Structure 1
């Protein structure tokens, strides 16, 4: 039996000497190395998504589910077109571009990867919304922005990369205006005890996505309270996420022969191979009730 403690790094590559810096380097390495893999196997030129989709009764395609997720978060945080948004962990710009195109929001979008910021800027220009979005390289746990700058802080499958989730929540509270809202969509542990037979899948996910740990839903809710947030709501959308997890698994299974041959020929880096393994491992975590998936929203009064 294994046990995942809060604020610890459980990646096998971690030396624990300077875990925060290690994590930043690992996350940058992951997203830089896997940029084209994501575009080939997961996201498209319109959604630019590095996240799970949201499947409701009207969803007809994978790409549609990815765009649905943006709308779901937009509504969860009650975002208005006039709101100034910080996209905290913006990836290659998918959500920011969607908000600018569909709702005319102005945004600051940050990532710790200079390459991601560059790619995102190019995508925003291609979509005609470059003037609405400032892409910058910054750590969402320690931003350079003044107190009470933003109406919205948006974290879509990015907060999981923080070693201590409270660091992100504390910074979000600081830079939000009074009346501002935080929205976080991510995976959460359903239990801290992990059986021996489940541990390899857990480690494959943490290693492959450069994530140090996950926390429980109730623990994340308490962190929001501790940092001063009010009107905290949680929407469990695991059921609407499972088709996306299944889709990822099927893609990984289909590409497995190519992965094996490419790895044998030395055409796939260790980072790319680790990312591939997540496609299989995340399916195990979902279907064995080790993780759930949901949306938190909260307000700074």
Structure 2
């Protein structure tokens, strides 16, 4: 049996600088995400949220933003920290749909450039800014934000408790944290299960996964109260299935490009994760959940 523990990097391709690996993944896989997943409107590198009102893949990606916003109860004038903002999709969506200001941070300078250009094109650059920063050690003063928003970003923290500590520090009293992410649903795995899980960690440069119970404990230890968790795996499964079938249909072309050395290792690992992730969710090895907590 293999045991999943907090604070360890379980990737088989791990280097001494896991943050550099994260940047490499997103920078090298940008066009894969751009052509197979996101568009210039949603700018979303995350699973979608499907319910009875969802009619398309693009709708589902924007619906995930709505799911977080509904959970955290945004107020006019709120200052939001988008922790792990990616290409700026959530930050821009928040500014377009609410009377708020948003600061997005990412490890990737390239993503900052993309996000900044998109905010300018969408006419929200006066209320949205992007910076290169580590969300576990930010440059912001204590009690700077009303909301900390983490959409499929907290999983990249090697030590998730460092993220919850920092989120608590930068939130104002009464501030809220909202986070949607994948979580391990067990701590012990058979060798075959472990292979599937590690393939996903490798492909997306994720060092480890917390369990819902473990992440709740980190939030409480950091000082958060009114911690609430919703399992929304069922709402994300159509996205997981779409990703799987997209990868399956493009398998021959992918293998040819690898043989021709037209794909990087990061791109190839990303492809294998697209194939594996659906079964990881389907077999109950991991789930997808939404946390909200208050300072």
1:238/1:294 contact within 8 Å kept: yes
Aligned CA RMSD, in angstroms, stands at 0.9
Runs of 4+ in 1 over 4 A off after TM superposition: none
1:252 to 243, 247, 268: 247
- Does residue 138 of the first structure (1) align with residue 130 of the second (2)? no
Partner of 1:296: 291
Question: Counterparts of 1:252 and 1:2 in 2: how far apart (Å)?
Answer: 28
| 1:191-243 CA distance string (max 9 Å, x none) | 01111112221111101111000011111111111110001101110110111
Q: CA deviation at 1:261?
A: 0.7
Question: Counterparts of 1:39 and 1:104 in 2: how far apart (Å)?
Answer: 29
Partner of 1:128: 123
Partner of 1:5: 5
Q: How does 1:207-222 map to 2 (within 5 A)?
A: 207-222=202-217
1:159/1:184 contact within 8 Å kept: yes
5+ residue gaps in structure 2? none
Q: How does 1:130-279 map to 2 (within 5 A)?
A: 130-279=125-274
Partner of 2:97: 102
Question: Counterparts of 1:79 and 1:104 in 2: how far apart (Å)?
Answer: 9
Question: Counterparts of 1:14 and 1:166 in 2: how far apart (Å)?
Answer: 21
TM-score, structure 2 normalization: 0.98
2:84/2:105 contact within 8 Å kept: yes
2:248/2:275 contact within 8 Å kept: yes
Aligned residue pairs, count: 295
Question: Counterparts of 2:202 and 2:100 in 1: how far apart (Å)?
Answer: 35
Partner of 2:69: 74
